[in-house]
């Protein structure tokens, strides 16, 4: 069905643009944008009365499998460093995941985040005891909510060769089965240099080359990743990744907290994307990535936190502004827009422009500021006024996924009640209970 949005105020974050217009949506795309469009018979007409329309947000790095970890009992003995956080928390959790908990993690995470206006998730999945078919389970859950995803499995050596190979196979299977899907693409998933030997990195690089895809991998999240490469392989981390073809166009490198400025530039020259995850960096005490070194191919992720990109941008801004009064308002909002370009590269369609031909992934905000909203002060409004609480409706691929803050087509309360039961069982399996 065609939809006409009347009296919209459209906002694009880069270059900052505000426009008052009507929008016609047809077959999942923005068909026309003009100051006045006349509805034809059979078209759904929605009068937005000046409400804001923005492109649906992209979460460029996350782990939906962590959705059921909220409120989980803490491990005995608090982690003392990043490796202990992995060992005591995340690697215990992913080992315990099974078909049902993978499904409810993805479903609960998607429901919560689409209400924040996030319409595409670039997910990095791990479930060592349920590898084969795991990406299809996530796809099925996300499809119930209607959101899009670029999915991959975190290949690693930590579970031995058999599991490593299952991880490689799962990436290859999902990628090749989703080359023309309207909502999904695959990438080649890799955990991090520190859990991947040379043979595994070589295989990952070969797969990316074979399918002209990118490798989604954690890079220099903690300094331990940098030191491990230098100590065991006598190579700087980025040189090691380059050696095996991991740094390439379409690769997605999360964190980069401990890269040098020269390495940032070097990575961007390869055509890879760098993903900044400010909340996660702060929460894991790994250090804070140098915001001003992120260049034109840098975007924002939430790394397992609910995918509220308003919050991620705001916290990233404040974390930097705390110690640098020159922090520009534009830096984080522009990174959000870059996420649209990343997704465009994978799907081969112009996401995030709100122009004719752009996929109809949009967010309607009910935002009534006490000051004038102009192109010139847009970033000030974005950082200091707009929040996910302003999100009223969300459309993905021309269909409303959220209407009046309710996810359509499912019983949200029932799903969350079931998810809580599944979470309790998951924690019990991990040997944790309140």
Give contact residues for Zn ion (rule: CB under 5 A): 303
**Of the candidates 408, 365, 330, which has an alpha carbon nearest to the alpha carbon of residue 116?**
365
Select 92 or 425, whichever has its Cβ closest to Zn ion.
92
Q: What is the DSSP letter of 35?
A: S
Nearest approach in angstroms of CB 41 to Zn ion is 49
Cα–Cα distance, 1 to 82 (Å, whole number)? 50
**In contact, 354 and 53? CB cutoff 8 Å:** yes
Which residue lies nearer to Zn ion by CB, 66 or 238? 66
Least separation in angstroms between residue 18's CB and Zn ion is 34
389: nearest Cα among 138, 196, 117: 117
Q: How far is the CB of 82 from Zn ion (least distance, A)?
A: 12
82 versus 211: smaller Cβ distance to Zn ion: 82
The answer to whether residues 308 and 388 touch, using CB atoms and an 8 Å cutoff, is yes
- Residue 186 three-state SS: strand
Find out whether 192 and 225 touch, Cβ atoms under 8 Å. yes
Sheet holding 118-123, edge to edge: 57-62, 118-123, 148-151, 184-186
Using CB positions, name the residue nearest to Zn ion: 303
**Alpha-carbon span 213 to 134, nearest angstrom:** 20
In whole angstroms, how close is the CB of 27 to Zn ion at the nearest point? 35
Nearest approach, Cβ of residue 54 and Zn ion (Å):
25
- Tokens 């998951």 locate to 426
Cβ of residue 320: shortest distance to Zn ion, in angstroms?
A: 20
């Amino acid at each position: 069905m065609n939809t006409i949005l009347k009296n919209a105020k459209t906002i694009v974050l880069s270059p900052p643009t505000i426009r008052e217009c009507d929008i016609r949506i047809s077959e999942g795309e923005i068909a026309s944008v003009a100051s006045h469009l006349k509805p034809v018979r059979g078209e759904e007409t929605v009068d937005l009365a000046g409400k804001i329309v923005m492109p649906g947000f992209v979460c460029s790095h996350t782990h939906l499998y962590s959705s059921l970890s909220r409120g989980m009992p803490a491990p005995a003995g608090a982690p003392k460093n990043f490796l202990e956080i992995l060992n005591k928390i995340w690697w215990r959790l992913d080992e315990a995941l099974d078909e049902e908990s993978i499904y409810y993690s993805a479903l609960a995470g998607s429901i919560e985040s689409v209400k924040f206006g996030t319409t595409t998730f670039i997910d990095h999945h791990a479930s060592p005891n349920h590898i084969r078919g795991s990406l299809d389970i996530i796809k099925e859950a996300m499809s119930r909510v209607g959101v899009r995803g670029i999915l991959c499995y975190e290949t690693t050596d930590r579970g031995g060769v058999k599991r490593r190979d299952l991880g490689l196979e799962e990436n290859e299977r999902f990628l090749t089965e989703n080359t023309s899907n309207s909502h999904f693409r695959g990438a080649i998933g890799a955990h991090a240099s520190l859990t991947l030997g040379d043979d595994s990195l070589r295989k990952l690089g070969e797969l990316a080359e074979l399918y002209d895809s990118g490798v989604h991998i954690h890079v220099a999240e903690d300094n331990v990743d940098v030191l491990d490469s230098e100590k065991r392989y006598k190579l700087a981390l980025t040189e090691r990744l380059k050696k095996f073809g991991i740094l390439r166009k379409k690769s997605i490198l999360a964190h980069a907290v401990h890269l040098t400025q020269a390495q940032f530039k070097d990575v961007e020259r390869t055509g890879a994307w760098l993903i900044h995850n400010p909340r996660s960096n702060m929460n894991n005490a790994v250090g804070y990535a140098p915001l001003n070194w992120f260049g034109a191919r840098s975007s924002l992720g939430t790394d397992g936190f609910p995918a509220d990109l308003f919050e991620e941008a705001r916290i990233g801004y404040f974390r930097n502004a705390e110690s640098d009064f020159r922090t520009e308002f534009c830096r984080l909002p522009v990174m959000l827009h870059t996420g649209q370009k990343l997704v465009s590269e994978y799907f081969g369609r112009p996401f995030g422009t709100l122009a004719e031909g752009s996929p109809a992934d949009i967010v309607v905000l009910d935002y009534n500021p006490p000051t004038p909203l102009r192109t010139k002060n847009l970033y000030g409004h974005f950082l200091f006024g707009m929040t996910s609480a302003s999100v009223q409706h969300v459309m993905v691929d021309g269909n409303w996924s959220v209407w009046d803050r309710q996810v359509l087509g499912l019983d949200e309360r029932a799903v969350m009640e079931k998810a809580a039961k599944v979470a309790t069982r998951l924690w019990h399996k991990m040997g944790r209970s309140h």
